[in-house]
Amino acid sequence: MTTVPSVHIKLPNGVEYDQPTGLFIDNQFVASSSGKTFPVYSPSTEEKICDLQEADRDDVEIATQSAYKAFKKWSTVEPKVRATALLKLADLIEEEKETLKAIEALDNGKSLFCAGFDVGIVIDYIRSCAGYTNTIDGRTINTGDTHLSYTRREPLGVCGQIIPWNFPLLMWSWKIGPALATGNTVVLKPASATPLSALYAASLAVKAGIPPGVIQIVPGSGRKCGDAILRHPLIKKIAFTGSTAIGRDVMIAAAESNLKKVTLELGGKSPNIVFNDADLDTTVQHLIAGIFFNSGEVCCAGSRIYVQEGIYDKLLAKFKEEVEKLKVGNPFEEGVFQGAQTTPDQFESVLSYIEKGKAEGAKLLTGGNRIGNKGYFLEPTVFIDCDDDHTIVKEEIFGPVAAVCKFKYIDEVIERANNSEYGLASGIHTTDINKALDVSQRLEAGICWINTYNDLHHQVPFGGYKESGIGREMGSEALDNYTQIKAVRIKITRKNE
């Protein structure tokens, strides 16, 4: 394999670094088999950042064979070896956090503020995974004195992982961390729009002492590279984060190949419920975090806001005031909260939803326009007096657009909140703990935030009900995605000698 040199990049905030541009196979950055490359653009400037090698089916084959070979040793080393490597990786990410934040802002368009949130969780989560390496235990089972029965939790093998463009480094860690902690090896495809941090983090994995073949990074198209991962017979598990529509295709491909184990973290249209007794000032800030964080490109975004009628007008006045204070623009500028939408297609999609909201009769409280003529920047947008049958209330927009609805009774809002094919997240804002507990138990969602929102923690599992996915990320629950149970039963023969 021919190695490929990195490209030196100077970023607007003064950070300089060397960006790997090759496929990451066997701990080297190498050329693709075809020699083809693809460009990566900045959504803030619409200018090209660099060209990367483009993986296709032949490269997935090479990467998978390398991962398969590495699995035989990585899966059997002492847990402390994997723990040491993961802890070192977390330390290196922490040392390079300013560079990684800047890389995320560069090709994703998110603000440095939001990127800092991501990198902080990445560091904590990789360390958490290191701590789990020696807890991958089975159990002994009492079946009487005639047998010894016990279980082992064993790794699956080579795991294919496909991550999205909205949280590139965060999703990298959510996939890499538990897979490596449990003794698996990985072939990971980053999104073509945002592959830079995945490659740079892979270079840190080499420095951390992770052996060749354990991590493979293959940027390429979903049609060629992604499909090859889904259908490769040596890949035993698929972890995918993305849209529900593509998630269905992932399950079909996994079933048609070798019945790969599948975990899916998919779309959402999450309800964020505000009751009359909520604290107005703090609630408004949590509503802002719920829908405008990361430019609204968040699968668990609190995009359906339900406000009880007694506080409706007062809350909307405060919400409008605070939303219009948000600084939107160049993600490298001080004080910017909302950066650019990541891709031109998504930018146009969000604009089309704004037009649908207007056409269907929702009232525009604030926003709704493009900012400037260069870069994919949008005003934070709030529609009010929305009906449940409005498109902007039913469909995932994946952008900085909130749809506000009024409600009167608790049972009413729970029924409306649950009336969705999605069930990823939910929010409750109230000063009544009994109400909070009652409503949280009745909402159909994988996570429920009370008097907060988008408040992730590396020890708290994350995932969805219904069409929002299968399996969980983070917490001890993530380890279940990467292990299988072997039962051992030994007949005991009693001898009187």
Mean pLDDT, residues 271-280 taken together: 98
The answer to whether residues 114 and 294 touch, using CB atoms and an 8 Å cutoff, is: yes
The answer to whether residues 427 and 453 touch, using CB atoms and an 8 Å cutoff, is: yes
Q: What integer pLDDT is reported at residue 191 of this predicted model?
A: 97
Got the DSSP string for 18-75? EE--SEEETTEEE--SS--EEEEE-TTT--EEEEEE-B-HHHHHHHHHHHHHHHHHHT
Q: How many residues are recorded in the chain?
A: 497
- Taking 3-state DSSP, the helix, strand and coil percentages for the chain, each rounded to the nearest 5, stand at 40, 25, 35
Binned at pLDDT 50, 70 and 90, residue 1 comes out as confident
Q: Which of these, 324, 341, 328, 381, lies nearest to 357 by C-alpha position?
A: 381
Q: What integer pLDDT is reported at residue 495 of this predicted model?
A: 83
Residue 132 has pLDDT above 90, yes or no: yes
pLDDT > 90: percent of the chain: 98
Residue 130 has pLDDT above 90, yes or no: yes
Residue with tokens 């016990």: 150
The three-state (H, E, C) secondary structure of 361-391, written as one string: CCEEEECCCECCCCCCCECCEEEECCCCCCH
Q: What integer pLDDT is reported at residue 357 of this predicted model?
A: 98
For 385-417, the pLDDT digits (tens) are 999 999 999 999 999 999 999 999 999 999 999
Q: What integer pLDDT is reported at residue 131 of this predicted model?
A: 97
Query: Alpha carbon of 31 to those of 28, 61, 267: distances in Å?
Result: 10, 14, 34
Binned at pLDDT 50, 70 and 90, residue 64 comes out as very high
pLDDT > 70: percent of the chain: 100
- Calculate the average pLDDT of the chain: 97
Residue 344 has pLDDT above 80, yes or no: yes
Q: Which two tokens stand for residue 458?
A: 């590396």
Alpha carbons 217 and 359: distance in angstroms, whole number: 44
Alpha carbons 436 and 448: distance in angstroms, whole number: 10
The three-state (H, E, C) secondary structure of 318-355, written as one string: HHHHHHCCCCECCCCCCCCCECCCCCHHHHHHHHHHHH
Q: What integer pLDDT is reported at residue 27 of this predicted model?
A: 98
Q: What integer pLDDT is reported at residue 101 of this predicted model?
A: 97
From the list 54, 96, 104, 265, the catalytic residue is 265
Binned at pLDDT 50, 70 and 90, residue 455 comes out as very high
Q: Which of these, 162, 223, 227, 160, lies nearest to 195 by C-alpha position?
A: 162
Residue 497 has pLDDT above 80, yes or no: no
Got the DSSP string for 469-494? EES-BSTTHHHHTTEEEEEEEEEPPP
DSSP annotation of 360: T
Got the DSSP string for 242-311? S-HHHHHHHHHHHHHHT--EEEEE-----EEEE-TTS-HHHHHHHHHHHHHGGGG--TT---EEEEETTT
Residue with tokens 């299988």: 484
Got the DSSP string for 245-262? HHHHHHHHHHHHHT--EE
Q: What integer pLDDT is reported at residue 496 of this predicted model?
A: 78
Alpha carbons 147 and 51: distance in angstroms, whole number: 61
Binned at pLDDT 50, 70 and 90, residue 494 comes out as confident
Tell how strand 401-407 and strand 381-384 pair up: parallel
Mean pLDDT, residues 31-40 taken together: 97
Q: Which domains does the chain have, with CATH numbers?
A: 7-266+472-485 (3.40.605.10), 271-457 (3.40.309.10)
The answer to whether residues 204 and 228 touch, using CB atoms and an 8 Å cutoff, is: no
User: Burial, 434: exposed, middle or buried (Cβ in 10 Å; 0-12, 13-18, 19+)?
Assistant: exposed
Q: Which two tokens stand for residue 375?
A: 């870069």
The answer to whether residues 229 and 235 touch, using CB atoms and an 8 Å cutoff, is: yes
Secondary structure element (H or E) that encloses residue 226, with its range? none
Q: Which two tokens stand for residue 122?
A: 């990445």
Question: Would residue 395 show up in a list of annotated catalytic residues for this protein?
Answer: no
